Amino acid sequence: MLLIRNGDIVTATDRFTADILCDNGVISAVGMNLEVPEGTPVIDATGKHVFPGFIDPHVHVYLPFMGTVSKDNYATASKAALMGGTTTLIEMCCPSRTEDPLDAIRLWKSKADGISFCDYTFHMGVTRFDETTADALRHIVSIEGITSFKVFLAYKGAFGIEDTELFQTLSLAKELGVVVTAHCENADLVAEKQKKLISEGKLGPEWHEPSRPVTVEAGGCRHLMTYAEMTGAQVYVVHTSCIPAVEAIEEARKRGVKAWIETVSPYLTLDSSYAELPNFEGAKFVMSPPIRSQEHGDFLWTALAEGIIDTVGTDHAPFDYATQKHMGHPDPAKCVDAHFQTTGTPGNFTLIPNGIPSVEERIKLLYTEGVRRGRIDLQTLVRCASTKPAEIFGLYPRKGAIVPGSDADLVIWDPEWRGKISAATHSMATDYSAFEGKSIVGRADTVTVRGKIMVQNGEWVGEKGWGEFLPREPKKYGDC
């Protein structure tokens, strides 16, 4: 048993002062002056917010991609998540086009089982659809308990799928009651733009954004919406970065397409000028779709506050700067990294592994830049980073809620803590932070997962392997 006394409880819809009693891993009571047996451990949460555990609906922990493999493992990523107040991870299982889907999901699960500190599940990447795929996916949904898919309209030749495969995936998803998450960019246009920029000698990280302009992302969204409309599948657009992309999805919603919109912390808190930093520092900020100019970031905050954007994830993609981002270094004379030494050829922005690590920082950034700056309120913070991800992906009300019966995943948040983000102190396994030196207000003071304290007074006290896989049930389409 654990009693959290007198906290300022914040949910997606409410805010009130009460005690929370946790028993046997779940919340057993919420109310004022709860009576507990003598000896029950008590945490005094006076002056602090108590949030339902946060859910990151879009992370990569194990990601073989662009000729390298991401740096985190489940021990480092789930510890980092918990230190930042995230108690559930939904990881993208991303097989190559030649990998067997069942082998892939078992491999991804094996990376977390018995290792993860926090709870977790997966979106099943569909990177090929042939005569064997439907059976494998049916099994993955009904036996493995994975009820969301992931498709890439970008990254042709790697994870990207053809239109006939997209149609088959969405048709099957509709039949099974599965939500399809999608990376939306027009892959052919990206390839053309990349070729042209490189032929003009435009090689540095600052050319990554121009190679994947907002039109290319909006075009990808429209394409997905057409297929969702044709099949009746429910879709979830991941990492939405810009105004035209949100508008394209809004337009389809008006026609009756069921589509959710996710944005991610880098788009809200960074802008495209970071990719222009000298000495190849810009490579730290290369992800796809790219980080846009400030007007897009401002728009995303407003769309979030208005409920047009449903969720905020991270797209945590942990690549090191020194050895991995440098694979795209254009200037051999200045580069001492592995890429140049092994190939002897200069790189360019298309060779920089795409992605930014931020699983640890999402809630701090949303709180500091969103809540404290008056861009979103506390309920929106809880809605977009906990309750909505739980609802969309079949975890609610086990997760995302503070009601009797819900898992006792709780974040006691100190709103007055002040500090700075630094790679020197973070728990992620990467050698840099995209938010290095950033001043932060507020932090996760105490974090529980199913009633077990994993972070206490900002210090790590977690138990390895405490995290559990979360099997999920398919949706009844039309219910949400």
> How would you classify residue 450: left for phi > 0, otherwise alpha for psi between -120 and 50, otherwise beta?
left
Structure tokens at 333: 């004379």
Q: C-alpha 158: how far from its chain's center?
A: 20
Alpha-carbon distance 120 to 111, whole Å?
A: 11
Least distance in Å: CB of 290 to ligand URP?
Answer: 8
- Whether the CA torsion 215, 222, 148, 367 is positive or negative: it is positive
**Which CB sits closer to Zn ion, 110 or 343?**
343
**Which CB sits closer to ligand URP, 60 or 71?**
60
Least distance in Å: CB of 401 to ligand URP?
Answer: 28
Q: Does 208 bind Zn ion (CB under 5 A)?
A: no
Least distance in Å: CB of 335 to Zn ion?
Answer: 3
The continuous run of DSSP H or E covering 136 comes out as: helix 133-142
311 within 8 A of 264, measured Cβ to Cβ: no
Q: Does 284 bind Zn ion (CB under 5 A)?
A: no
Least distance in Å: CB of 393 to ligand URP?
Answer: 16
The item of ligand URP, Zn ion, none sharing an interface with residue 355, based on CB under 5 to 8 Å by kind, is ligand URP
Q: Which has the closest alpha carbon to 389: 409, 370, 404, 365? A: 409
**Which CB sits closer to Zn ion, 53 or 205?**
205
Q: Does 326 bind Zn ion (CB under 5 A)?
A: yes
Least distance in Å: CB of 287 to ligand URP?
Answer: 3
Ranked by CB distance to ligand URP, the top (closest) residue is 354
Least distance in Å: CB of 239 to ligand URP?
Answer: 6
Q: How far is CA 97 from CA 123, 192, 349, 395, in A?
A: 16, 22, 24, 29
Give contact residues for ligand URP (rule: CB under 6 A). 60, 183, 239, 287-288, 315, 317, 354-355
**Which CB sits closer to Zn ion, 57 or 85?**
57
**Which CB sits closer to ligand URP, 239 or 398?**
239
* Length of the chain (residues): 480
Structure tokens at 278: 């000298």
The item of ligand URP, Zn ion, none sharing an interface with residue 326, based on CB under 5 to 8 Å by kind, is Zn ion
Q: C-alpha 446: how far from its chain's center?
A: 22
Q: Which of residues 95-124 bind Zn ion (CB under 5 A)?
A: none
CA torsion, points 65, 228, 299, 289, in degrees to nearest 10? 20
Alpha-carbon distance 240 to 245, whole Å?
A: 7
The item of Zn ion, ligand URP, none sharing an interface with residue 335, based on CB under 5 to 8 Å by kind, is Zn ion
Position among 150, 223, 329, 443 found at the interface with Zn ion (CB under 5 A): 329
The item of Zn ion, ligand URP, none sharing an interface with residue 337, based on CB under 5 to 8 Å by kind, is Zn ion
Tokens 């932060």 locate to 440
Least distance in Å: CB of 329 to Zn ion?
Answer: 3
3-state secondary structure 142-191: HCCCCCEEEEECCCCCCCCCCHHHHHHHHHHHHHHCCEEEEECCCHHHHH
Q: Does 335 bind Zn ion (CB under 5 A)?
A: yes
**Which CB sits closer to Zn ion, 2 or 428?**
428
Residues that bind Zn ion (CB under 5 A): 183, 315, 326, 329, 335, 337
